[in-house]
Amino acid sequence: MSPHVTVIGSINVDLFAQVPHHPRPGETILGDSGQRAPGGKGANQALAARGQGAEVALVGAVGSDSDAAIATERLRTAGVDLEELRVTTEAPTGLAAVTVSADGENTIVVLPGANASVTPEDVRSAVVRAAEQRIVLLQGELPRETTEAAVRRAGSDGHRVVLNLAPWGEIAPDVLRTVDPLVLNEHEAAAVATALALEIPEEPAELATALASSGIRSVVLTLGPRGAVVADESGARAVPAPSVSAVDTTGAGDAFIGGLVARLAAGDDLLTATSHAVRVGAYSVRHPGAQPSYPTTEDELP
C-alpha cells in the first residue's frame, strides 16, 4: 500500500512579481515580469508529498471563482485526493502576492480568502474519516482554532501529526506537545521559544534542543542553504544541504516538508526523512516558482 498523508491547509493562487530588488517602505518599482500560479502552503506541501510518492488527500476550501481552477489544476493532475475540498460562495480563493528579487529571495503577503472559512468541525470530521495511522500535516495559514482542533483530534485518534507553524501564531502548548515533529525556521523557532518562556540560544542546534526539551516530541529546524537540525529526546543532529545555485526560493520550505512527510509515511526515521527533505528543497530552489519547481520520484535530486 502506498504511504498516505492527509494535509489540512491553505489553497491559494500566487501572484508573482519579478523585481530587481525588494521595495523599501514608500518606494514604487517596476517589475520585470509577473504571473499567476497555484500556491498555498497546504496545497504546496500536498503536491510536494505526492511528487515524492505518497498517496495524499488535501482538506481545505476555495472560492467559486476562476482562481479556484488555477489553484487546484496541478493537484488534480498529480492525483491528489480532493474529495474533502470545499467550495464556498462567501469568499474568494486565497491569494498570495509574491515578489522575487534578482538574487532569488522572496517576500509574501497572504490574503486568506476561503481559507479563513475552514472551521474546527470541518477538520475534525475530515480527521475522523482519515485512514488509521495516517500522517496528518498542518501549517499556520488556517484559523488558529481550526489548526488546534485538527491537531487535538488527530492526536487522540492515533495519527502522527506534523505541524509546520508557518506563519507563526500563538498556539496552545498542549498542541505543540502533540506534534511529531514540529517544523520551523529560525524566526519561528525563536517565537515558539519566547511563547514557552524559554531562553533563546544563538546556535540553531541549541535552540532546537531547548524546544525538544520543553516537552515537544521532536523538532526539525530548517536553515535554508545550511540544511536543517533534527532534535528529539536523543539530542540534536545537523543535516547538511547540497550546495546549489538558487534561482527562486519561493515554496522551498514547502518542498522540504512534502519530502519529509512522504518519507516518514514510507517508514523512514526522522533523521533519514530530513536528509531526503533537504535534497528535495535544494532541487526546488534551482527552478522558478513554487509548485512548478517540485521534483517527482523520476527527477534526480542534488
Inform me whether the pLDDT recorded for 104 exceeds 80. no
pLDDT tens digits, one per residue of 105-116:
878 888 999 999
The answer to whether residue 249 sits within a structural domain is: yes
Count of domains observed in the chain:
1
Distances (CA, A) of 251 to 33, 127, 248, 259, 287: 18, 26, 9, 12, 11
pLDDT tens digits, one per residue of 261-278:
999 999 999 999 999 999
The answer to whether residue 66 sits within a structural domain is: no
CA angle 250, 255, 257 (to 5 degrees): 125
The answer to whether residue 285 sits within a structural domain is: yes
Inform me whether the pLDDT recorded for 299 exceeds 60. yes
The answer to whether residue 71 sits within a structural domain is: no
Identify the sign of the CA torsion 191, 197, 200, 201: negative
Contact partners, residue 66, CB within 8 Å, separation at least 6: none
pTM assigned to the model:
0.92
Residue 266 CA to residue 44 CA, distance in Å, equals: 19
CA-based nearest residue to 293, from 226, 247, 229? 247
Active site residue 254: yes
The answer to whether residue 90 sits within a structural domain is: no
Please report the pLDDT score of residue 105 as a whole number: 83
pLDDT tens digits, one per residue of 23-79:
999 999 998 878 889 999 999 999 999 999 999 999 999 999 999 999 999 999 999
What residues are designated binding site for K(+)?
248, 250, 284, 287, 289, 293
The answer to whether residue 147 sits within a structural domain is: yes
The answer to whether residue 186 sits within a structural domain is: yes
Please report the pLDDT score of residue 239 as a whole number: 98
CA-based nearest residue to 302, from 258, 248, 290, 284? 284
Please report the pLDDT score of residue 1 as a whole number: 46
Which residue out of 67, 122, 232, 254 is catalytically annotated?
Answer: 254
At 139, which CATH number? Answer: 3.40.1190.20
Q: Can you give the residue range of the structural domain that contains 270?
A: 4-11+42-61+115-293
As to burial, measured by CB atoms within 10 angstroms (0-12 exposed, 13-18 middle, 19+ buried), residue 153 is: buried
The answer to whether residue 224 sits within a structural domain is: yes
What residues are designated binding site for ATP?
185, 222-227, 253-254
Three cell numbers written together for 4: 498516505
Instruction: For residue 59, list its beta bridge partners.
Output: 8
Please report the pLDDT score of residue 2 as a whole number: 61
Q: Looking at residues 236-256, what average pLDDT do you find? A: 93
Q: Looking at residues 161-184, what average pLDDT do you find? A: 95
